[in-house]
């Protein structure tokens, strides 16, 4: 697998180990440790006393037979990760690895054929024709990782048969660096997000909005960081990956060539081995292609903004629902950014850290994706939560209120079920003084108990002290 990723992506052993092998191995162990717990029926929450006799519970049932379509940038993680969830949930599956990472696809096919039950888990290899053929079949769920264009095609096809989907897409993810941010940390961390896998990461920031006042500092720190990360330059660094193929290389080259911004760092490309240097560009406007398009590569456009409000406005106008969002600033600034934007997930004061915790649920929102996985969410995404109740025979007498004829039953029913509002006609909460006294001002039973114990301890202590 290390060799395959080196061939397909020019990726270092370190990165492949971290983001693919160790990732999947740990995922499996985590699943195995928790599976028994997750598969159990859950007691349904919030059930009123009179309904408890019906033992309402949630069963965890496999959705059925699922299709998993992988991507090329982290071929192992993005193909086997969902498969691991499908297996734990009790589904059978067909896996379609990305043809753009052919060596990884081949090795995964071998592993699956050797390790898994061939009647339940199979691999289909191919490109558009084969994927179309797969989509003609009926699945109980389709899990797709990739871009929004193909995601839309899949969603529309799935809709024809009301097949549920999880879509892990991408976005024009913004990083927002306020005037109060530490430029050194912002530079190192945002660079990291664009060096890993040569920036071919769906969730890394697509562009950076930085307060005008610290733009020079940010760029200068990026220069410093790059010297530390690639002491002999990116092209000769064994740690820096390559673009997956010439088509993607050409796309990135074209993007770079079409910018009206100024290249501040990097800019070198080499078509012979799909090399693109980590390139920092100061762009002029929000209509620059480096901002409006998702690069999915090591392009680092920076746009100066006057203040946080402008940054938030720009971010929302470029993409309302990106996959990730990266605010750097004070607590108050970060809160404002999070409250006034939407995104699949967010890392505060860092590049995509939230997407590097293996057990933290990961997914998009709006057109950056639907559904989530990783950790327990992987099990959940292939599971149907089936609400079940059981009505005992002895309860038939109590149930009589539900059967017609209904004459005289409404009052009885209302007495049993009507809740009382704790607010008046102006929407103000009415204070129930007795409850307040009993609970000593606490909202919960446990809190009230705690307060009573504390009061008692205080009283005893006081007594001890006064009777010394």
- Pick the binder of other proteins from 66, 95, 123, 169 (CB under 8 A): 169
For residues 96 and 376, which CB has a smaller minimum distance to other proteins in the complex? 376
Q: Which stretch binds other proteins (CB under 8 A): 207-215, 268-276, 289-297, 361-369?
A: 361-369
* Contact call for residue 438 and other proteins (CB under 8 A): no
Please, which of residues 35-94 interact with other proteins by CB under 8 A? 44-48, 51, 54, 56, 58-59, 61, 63-64
If the CB atoms of residues 99 and 239 are measured against other proteins, the closer one turns out to be 239
Q: H helices within 207-339, ranges in order? A: 215-229, 246-258, 289-292, 308-318, 331-339
Q: Are 93 and 65 in contact (CB under 8 A)?
A: yes
Token pair 């992988």 in the structure block, residue: 70
Q: Which of residues 139-158 bind other proteins (CB under 8 A)?
A: 140, 148, 151-152, 155-156, 158
d(CA 93, CA 121): 5
Among 7, 113, 398, 410, binds other proteins (CB under 8 A): 410
Interface map 178-217 toward other proteins (x if CB under 8 A): ----x--x--xx--x--x----------------------
202 is catalytic: yes
Between 106 and 155, CB nearer to other proteins: 155
Tell me which residues in 368-397 interact with other proteins (CB under 8 A): 370, 372, 375-376, 384-393, 396
* Residues in 266-305 at the binding interface with other proteins, rule: CB under 8 A: none
320 is catalytic: no
The residues in 339-358 that bind other proteins, with binding defined as CB under 8 A, are 339-340, 342-350, 353-354, 357
Q: Which residues pair with 211 in a beta bridge?
A: 305
The piece of 73-81, 126-134, 162-170, 452-460 that touches other proteins (CB under 8 A) is 162-170
Q: How far apart are CA 370 and CA 152, in angstroms?
A: 11
- Which pairs count as long-range contacts for 327-330, CB under 8 Å and 24+ apart, including other chains? 327/175, 327/176, 327/178, 328/175, 328/176, 328/177, 328/178, 328/181, 328/182, 328/185, 328/186, 329/176, 329/177, 329/178, 329/179, 329/180, 329/181, 330/178, 330/180
* Helix H or strand E encompassing 89: helix 75-89
Which residue out of 5, 24, 91, 202 is catalytically annotated? 202
358 contacts 374 by C-beta, under 8 angstroms: yes
Could you say which of 168, 221, 282, 294 is catalytic?
168
For residue 136 the two structure tokens come to 């003609």
Count of other CB atoms within 10 angstroms of residue 52: 11
Q: Which residues are catalytic?
A: 168, 202
């Amino acid at each position: 697998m290390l060799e395959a990723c080196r061939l397909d992506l020019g990726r270092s052993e370190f990165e492949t180990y971290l983001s693919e092998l160790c990732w999947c191995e740990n995922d499996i162990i985590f699943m195995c440790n928790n599976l028994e717990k997750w598969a159990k029926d859950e007691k349904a929450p919030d059930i009123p006393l009179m309904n408890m006799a019906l033992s309402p519970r949630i069963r965890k049932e496999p959705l059925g037979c699922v299709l998993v379509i992988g991507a090329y940038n982290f071929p192992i993680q993005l193909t086997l990760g969902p498969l691991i969830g499908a297996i734990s949930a009790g589904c059978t599956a067909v896996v379609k690895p990305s043809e753009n990472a052919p060596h990884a696809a081949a090795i995964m096919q071998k592993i699956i054929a050797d390790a898994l039950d061939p009647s339940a888990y199979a691999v289909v290899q191919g490109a558009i024709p084969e994927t179309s053929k797969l989509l003609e079949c009926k699945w109980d769920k389709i899990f797709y990782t990739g871009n929004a264009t193909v995601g839309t095609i899949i969603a529309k096809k799935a809709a024809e048969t009301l097949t549920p989907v999880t879509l892990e897409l991408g976005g024009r993810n913004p990083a927002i660096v306020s005037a109060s941010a530490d430029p050194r940390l912002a530079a190192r961390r945002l660079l990291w997000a664009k060096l890993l896998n040569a920036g071919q990461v769906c969730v890394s920031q697509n562009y950076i909005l930085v307060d005008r006042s610290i733009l020079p500092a940010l760029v200068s720190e990026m220069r410093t960081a790059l010297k530390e990360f690639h002491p002999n330059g990116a092209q000769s660094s064994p740690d820096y990956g390559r673009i997956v193929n010439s088509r993607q290389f050409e796309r990135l080259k074209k993007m770079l060539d079409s910018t009206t911004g100024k290249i501040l760092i990097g800019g070198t490309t080499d078509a012979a081995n799909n090399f693109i240097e980590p390139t920092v560009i100061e762009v002029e406007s929000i209509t620059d292609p480096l901002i409006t398009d998702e690069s999915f590569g090591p392009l680092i456009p920076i746009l100066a903004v006057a203040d946080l409000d402008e940054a938030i406005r720009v971010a929302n106008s470029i993409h309302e629902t990106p996959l990730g969002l990266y605010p750097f600033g004070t607590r108050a600034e970060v809160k404002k950014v999070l409250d006034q934007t939407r995104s699949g997930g967010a890392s505060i004061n860092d590049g995509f850290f939230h997407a590097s915790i293996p057990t933290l649920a990961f997914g998009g929102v709006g057109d950056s994706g639907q559904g989530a996985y990783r950790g327990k969410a992987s099990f959940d995404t292939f599971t149907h939560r089936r609400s079940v109740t059981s009505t005992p025979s002895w309860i038939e007498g109590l149930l009589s209120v539900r059967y017609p004829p209904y004459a005289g039953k409404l009052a009885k029913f209302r007495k049993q079920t009507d809740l009382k509002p704790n607010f008046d006609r102006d929407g103000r909460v009415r204070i129930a003084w007795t409850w307040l006294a009993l609970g000593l001002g606490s909202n919960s039973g446990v809190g009230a108990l705690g307060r009573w114990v504390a009061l008692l301890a205080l009283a005893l202590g006081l007594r001890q002290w006064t009777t010394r």
